[in-house]
Structure 1
Amino acid sequence: MRRNLILLLIGIFACSYSYSQTQIITTGNNVLNTSYPYAADIVIGSDANGGIRHDASIMWWNNESAARISNTADVFLFSVHNSSNPNIGLSAIVGGKSFIKGNLGIGNTDPRAKLHLVGNGSSINTVDGLSGDMVIQGNSPGRSSTIGAALEFAIPADTDGTNMWGQARIITVAGNTNTNNATGKLILGTRRKFDKHTGTGETWNYGDDIVIDGAGRVGIGTSSPDALLSVKGAIHTQEVKVDMKGWADHVFNPAYSLQSIEDVESFIHINQHLPDMPSEKEVIKNGIKLGEMNKVLVKKIEELTLYLIEQNKRIKQLENQINP
């Protein structure tokens, strides 16, 4: 091994003498072999008695700053260092774990956050394939309605930053099982203890709180919205504005045919509700449309006003007859 090291150093000095830049040229035949850790074109390190591995590193030094690739035990490090601010840029640990200390920029040389991604922008128009600046892929077993790709947000329970728990999640699942129709479904929910699967009791789960289905319909409190916005539960708001097509003021048109009060009485007796109004059975089954219902209510108020006006005329006529 010492002979090989001497030959390598002679080669480096020879290249440095012959060219303005040091070069190391290898055959490239030593491909990676997981069963033999030294199967590489250049190996830096040594084995002590008993095969104990020693740490090794390559350093680039300039004045008081340095960049270094090194390993210590089972940890691989890429780091930059100066006399006042040592910083590990990248670490990979045997077993698949890795971390980056500091900000990471992707498509960006001046990252302003822990992860700062800069892409070319994504079109809002429909495109085939994966075209987003960042893609989170979930390898579910086929097109599943319950397993997909998720982004989870976590907060520690303890003051020292440990005991981490997920708090909220954005997950996408298949909107259908058709392999030729890649319609999606988006679900947003918070983690809490509740009876998610009715009848099984309260357990810790993510709620399916806001759902956007494959038709673009939004559900709140329901995973199967049947309108552009479906809400299962109460709504508290300061104002609701409903666009209308037409209104009930045609009742005051002189050409409007007002039912006699006797006909209204007969209709009520037979149907148990006012004309033009839905029955209780219909309301329970289909609900009501606020805009249309307000339109009908205004119509009934206007008709009632006409009845009162007519009644007032008759009362005055009677008063005139009684007191000429």
Structure 2
Amino acid sequence: MKKRKLLGTTLALTAFITTANAQSVGADWGSNYDNLLVNKDATNHWGQIRLQTNQKAFTFSNFTDRLALNVTSGTNWDVYGTEIFRVKENGDVGLGNVSNPRAELHFPNTMDNRKLILWQDADNDVQFSGFGINDAALRYQATKDHVFYNVVNESTSRESLRIARSGNVGIGGITTPEQNLHVKNNALISNLFIGDVGLGTSWASIANNAKKTNTTFTLASSNDGKYTVINKENTNDGYIGFRVGNQDKMVVSNSGKLGLGTITPNGELQFANNYNTKKIVLWEDASNDHQFYGFGTNAGTLRYQSNNDHVFYSATGATDSKETLRIFKNGGIQTDKVILSIGSFPDYVFEDTYKLMPLEEVATYINSHKHLPNIPSEKEMIASGLDVTKLSTKMVEKIEELTLYTIQQNDKIKSLEKMIESLMKRLDQIEQKTALQK
């Protein structure tokens, strides 16, 4: 029965082989071979089978260098049409117009979104899962996510990478990546380690890979967003350094002191130990050493810089302040009150032991020196400046001396008044006696 079926098949196939090209049909078929040989005698070096149905014909050709499948529309037996499939003798397969496949499966060299379709939701260039070529790029097409799996064992696989439909990428089993890149647990980028560095899973940290287990040289943030830690090894004498140009430009010491331009701050905030007109700039009208508001150091002095007046305020309450002192841009000070601290006050002038210079000597001193005794001269004042406290004290001293001179003059005036009054009485008496004698 089986031989009859094979014989029938053979007769049917040979009916489509043209007379001019027909060759003998081999006799090697049956229970011992289960095959059908065409052109066993190999007189033209290949065998062909043509399958013709109305206006469509498929021809299998076993050439010396390949197995080929051609397709044509028409009834002419000697027209093979277009070769659409070929298998080389080394096993490489070419599809379409690939006449010389260079790989186990070689597609035509054309741009096509749909080169290989594994599944399609609709007959278009986007609603399918498969592969294609678009604008010289290899296109991985999916109707939903792209998911890459790795084997765990003979019965289980594990998701290792997911490219979500949104474009977010998840690594390590993240099935719903929330950011452009979402990594589960830890990540290592060259020597940069991101993940748990020993602070616990509630901390996200960045560290050098060699230091990831001992919480040193670490930037960490808590999962509640309340705390950020930058830690450096050896907290007894270490510090956190911010480097620019391979030099620490700003540091935080282990005691909490901040250094700008210095790595050994001795104050809670310390700047570089150099003279600079612009140490702190709060506002600048131009980039120079003068048209700004702020602080600096210049020739060993603390410089308060302003492009206008300096004005000092004090709070009067929670919602208001008042001006207490103004230093005018062109010089001068305005304030409600000035209180100077002094070590002594010239009340010693009123002591009995104080030696008051006689006015005659004061007059002689003035004529000789052209200024009051114990008062700096104009030349001294210009050279050293006006010491308000010292000068105010000396002025009070002179006022008190002037008061003593005034008291002395008053005493002398009163004495003279009494003398005059006595003389006037005597004069009246003399005039009265003279009048009686007349």
TM-score, L = length of structure 2: 0.34
Please state which structure has a larger fraction of its residues in strand.
2
TM-score, L = length of structure 1: 0.44
Which fold has the larger relative contact order, with Cα–Cα distance below 8 Å and residues 6 or more apart in sequence?
1
- CA radius of gyration, larger in: 2
